[in-house]
Amino acid sequence: MQHVKGRYTETSGMPEDTIAPFSLGRFTLLILRVANLTFGGGDPTMAVLFRELVVSRGWLTRERYGLIYSLARATPGTNILAFCAGAGWQVARWHGALVAVLAASIPCAAAIVWFTYAYTLWRSNPLAMSAIGGTLAAAVGMMFAATFQLCRPRWKPGNRLRAAVLVAGGFGLSFGLHMPPIEVLGLGALVGLVWRPSET
């Protein structure tokens, strides 16, 4: 068993006797449970992990959690997997990073393969297709909602013109001019480098 004592208490900010003993197995089970049983994507999962890793167990400090959370947001790809890699590396270096990413992704990947397989089986059944048709319509609403929710935190007084130009620009270049998405994203990043939001 790998203990927190000495190596992590300096950064935990908690008295040694209140820190739960650390082991890679316990950490893996925690990630396995939280990442695969929390619905709603990365943000709710990272919120639960804050409680489990920082508040309940003291394996990470608030500051270290904040740094890992910020970097996970800045890392390409899926935020929660980057978060798990960062948290795992912080507590147990490469072993921790590897088991955290595997534990956070394998069970839900197996679940989605099963769901997709079930979809291919059910698509010849009219009733099943009626139900699936309902969920496909719901997916359209969820995707528009994702657009809205990505914009909402940046839709602040003083920054609305910038936000509107970037969203409309991304939409127009892709939908109107058929520009490849990577070029649109690269252009967006370049605009962001020269046109900064007022709060930064």
Partner 1 sequence: MNLILLYLLLLKATATSFSGLTSLPVVRNDFVVHRQLLTDRQLNAAVVAGRTVPGPNGLYVVSVGYFIAGIPGACAGWLALISPAFVMIPLLRYVGARAERPEIRSAIQALTLAAAGLIASATIPLARDALHGPLSIAIAAGSFLFMVFTERDTLWIIGGSALIGLLAGLLG
Dump the DSSP string for 81-132. Answer: HHHHHHHHHHHHHHHHHHHHHHHHHHHHHHHHHHHHHHHHHHTT-HHHHHHH
> Is there binding between residue 117 and partner 1 (CB under 8 A)?
yes
> Is there binding between residue 146 and partner 1 (CB under 8 A)?
yes
Residue 83 C-beta-side C-alpha neighbours within 13 Å: 24
Structure-token pair, residue 47: 């919120």
d(CA 16, CA 21): 10
Report in angstroms how near the CB of residue 13 gets to partner 1 at its nearest. Answer: 18
> Is there binding between residue 68 and partner 1 (CB under 8 A)?
yes
Nearer to partner 1, 4 or 35 (CB): 35
> Is there binding between residue 103 and partner 1 (CB under 8 A)?
no
Q: Which span (1-9, 16-24, 54-62, 131-139) binds partner 1, by CB under 8 A?
A: 131-139
* Binding map of partner 1 across residues 30-49, x = CB under 8 A, - = no contact: -----xxxxxxxx--x----
> Is there binding between residue 121 and partner 1 (CB under 8 A)?
no
Nearer to partner 1, 1 or 127 (CB): 127
Distances (CA, A) of 140 to 34, 46, 135, 136: 27, 26, 9, 7
> Is there binding between residue 108 and partner 1 (CB under 8 A)?
yes
> Is there binding between residue 56 and partner 1 (CB under 8 A)?
no
> Is there binding between residue 97 and partner 1 (CB under 8 A)?
yes
The number of beta carbons lying within 10 Å of the beta carbon of residue 23 is 14
